[in-house]
Chains A and B, each alone.
Chain A
Amino acid sequence: MSSLGKEFTKGIFKENPILIIMLGLCPTLAVSTSASDAFGMGAAFTFVLLMSNIVIALIRKAVPEQIRIPVYITVISAFVTIVDYTMKAYLPALSRSLGVFVPLIVVNCIVMGRAEAFASKNTIAASLMDALGMSIGFTLIITILGAIREIFGNGSVFKQAIFPSTYQPFLIMILPPGAFLVIGFMMAIQKWLSDKGGKR
């Protein structure tokens, strides 16, 4: 596999930002109460990570080492603000249900982590691939997490009821402990699959 392809696929499974690197757990746990909110969060996050990885890779040679962190923060927060305003203007319902977690993408450690660990040392193409893979990995996991919690905790998925109205929802799945339970199982499954796949 070409190295660009590898930069892309590693974020989805082998180095999944949530399950393996375990960054950005705060928004992951808090926003995943329904599949559609989780997916919206994933989309906003994808835009921010893509744009900031590209810009940081672009300016990496011009930025002196001592001030790289403030520069990254400026770049990331600019893109987060753009997403926040755009959502408020064109997707008010989503913006309301994600609430404070959109502005908080600024401090999402995955974005900062990718800027520091990858985009600041690699070409634009590689950083773009890295960002795409990481975003898909993040969006995939948070949406599955949201869907599982919504199915058991509310009897619906993407706001479509799937159980008859006599279904008694497990309230715990919607509450914070449910997020920890499900993410624990997902981590175990990921570990099991990767152990089974190749004895490294």
Chain B
Amino acid sequence: MKNFLKLTLTLVVICGAAAGALAFVNQVTMPKIIEQAKVEKGLAMKEVSPGADEFKEVVQNRVWDALKGGEKTGSVVLITAQGYSGKIDIALGVGPDGSLAGIKILSQTETPGLGAKVAGRSFLDQFVGKVADAVVLKKDDPDGGSIDAVSAATVSSRVVTNAVRAALDSYKKGELQ
């Protein structure tokens, strides 16, 4: 019985100390982590909608109106696609005519060195200025397609391309405004 008490007490003391230390670290880092995420999102929005200086949330955590001097110049749409090895979060800037003004991959877990290259500028810059119909891999539609897939990463490239096209399509139909 005595032994039982000793074991329990030792564990309680150690877990208590660990919990205390973690509570302290959490308190210090949490505001910083939240701020970090906010700053990052803000920067991404500015990057995909050139010129805009203010963003107004239209659909929660999904669509924002990009404003410049109080006037709407386009929208920012956040989309999530199911990639080769996990979720891919993408920020899109859409112009008033429904063409893509800017694109940035916020997070992805594709294969390093292969699929992860879809986050690189050389792949993403192909999308800029295009409308939904042109956003197709050349591989999938040799006539209408205009996007070159990243070599040896067709799945990741296709996922991103199709997600962007779907988002532009529904934006044009007015579903995201």
User: Which residue numbers of A lie inside 8 Å of B, CB to CB?
Assistant: 33-34, 59, 62-64, 66-67, 70-71, 74-75, 77-78, 81-82, 85-86, 88-90, 92, 96, 99, 153-154, 169, 171, 174-175
Task: Evaluate contact between A33 and B113: CB separation under 8 angstroms.
Answer: yes
Task: Evaluate contact between B113 and A71: CB separation under 8 angstroms.
Answer: no
Within the assembled complex, what's the spacing in Å between the Cα atoms of A63 and B11? Answer: 9
Task: Evaluate contact between B10 and A67: CB separation under 8 angstroms.
Answer: yes
| The 7 nearest A-B residue pairs measured at CB | A174-B113, A89-B32, A78-B18, A89-B29, A33-B112, A85-B29, A82-B25
Task: Evaluate contact between B11 and A71: CB separation under 8 angstroms.
Answer: yes
For A154, give its contact among B22, B40, B109, B113 (CB under 8 Å).
Answer: B113
Question: Which partner residue on chain A sits nearest B117 by CB separation?
Answer: A154
Q: Which of B6-51 contact A (CB under 8 A)?
A: 6-7, 10-11, 14-15, 18, 21-22, 25-26, 28-30, 32-33, 36, 40
Q: Verify if B111 is at the interface (C-beta below 8 Å from A).
A: yes
Q: Verify if B59 is at the interface (C-beta below 8 Å from A).
A: no
Q: Verify if B107 is at the interface (C-beta below 8 Å from A).
A: yes
Task: Evaluate contact between A171 and B29: CB separation under 8 angstroms.
Answer: no
Question: Which partner residue on chain A sits nearest B20 by CB separation?
Answer: A78
Question: Which partner residue on chain B sits nearest A65 by CB separation?
Answer: B7
Within the assembled complex, what's the spacing in Å between the Cα atoms of A174 and B25? Answer: 35
Task: Evaluate contact between A88 and B36: CB separation under 8 angstroms.
Answer: yes
Task: Evaluate contact between A86 and B113: CB separation under 8 angstroms.
Answer: no
Within the assembled complex, what's the spacing in Å between the Cα atoms of A174 and B11? Answer: 43
| 21 pairs, A vs B, C-beta closer than 8 Å | A34-B112, A64-B3, A64-B7, A66-B7, A71-B14, A74-B14, A74-B18, A75-B14, A78-B18, A78-B21, A81-B22, A81-B25, A85-B25, A85-B29, A85-B33, A86-B25, A88-B29, A92-B36, A99-B109, A174-B114, A175-B113
Task: Evaluate contact between A59 and B33: CB separation under 8 angstroms.
Answer: no
Question: Which partner residue on chain B sits nearest A67 by CB separation?
Answer: B7
Q: Verify if B152 is at the interface (C-beta below 8 Å from A).
A: yes
Return chain B residues, CB-CB under 8 Å to A81.
Answer: 22, 25
**Residue with the greatest number of chain B CB neighbours at <10 A, chosen from A78, A154, A169:** A78
Question: Which partner residue on chain B sits nearest A34 by CB separation?
Answer: B112
Closest chain-A Cβ to B76's Cβ sits at a distance in Å of 20
**Residue with the greatest number of chain B CB neighbours at <10 A, chosen from A64, A89, A154:** A89
Task: Evaluate contact between B25 and A88: CB separation under 8 angstroms.
Answer: no
Closest chain-A Cβ to B122's Cβ sits at a distance in Å of 11
Closest chain-B Cβ to A33's Cβ sits at a distance in Å of 4
Within the assembled complex, what's the spacing in Å between the Cα atoms of A78 and B18? Answer: 6
Task: Evaluate contact between A70 and B11: CB separation under 8 angstroms.
Answer: yes
Question: Which partner residue on chain A sits nearest B112 by CB separation?
Answer: A33
For B6, give its contact among A64, A75, A89 (CB under 8 Å).
Answer: A64
Return chain A residues, CB-CB under 8 Å to B26.
Answer: 85
Return chain B residues, CB-CB under 8 Å to A92.
Answer: 36, 40
Within the assembled complex, what's the spacing in Å between the Cα atoms of A71 and B14? Answer: 7
Return chain A residues, CB-CB under 8 Å to B40.
Answer: 92
Closest chain-B Cβ to A182's Cβ sits at a distance in Å of 14
Within the assembled complex, what's the spacing in Å between the Cα atoms of A77 and B114? Answer: 33
Return chain B residues, CB-CB under 8 Å to A171.
Answer: 113-114, 152
Within the assembled complex, what's the spacing in Å between the Cα atoms of A174 and B113? Answer: 6
Within the assembled complex, what's the spacing in Å between the Cα atoms of A63 and B152? Answer: 54
Within the assembled complex, what's the spacing in Å between the Cα atoms of A84 and B3? Answer: 36
Closest chain-B Cβ to A68's Cβ sits at a distance in Å of 10
Return chain B residues, CB-CB under 8 Å to A78.
Answer: 18, 21-22
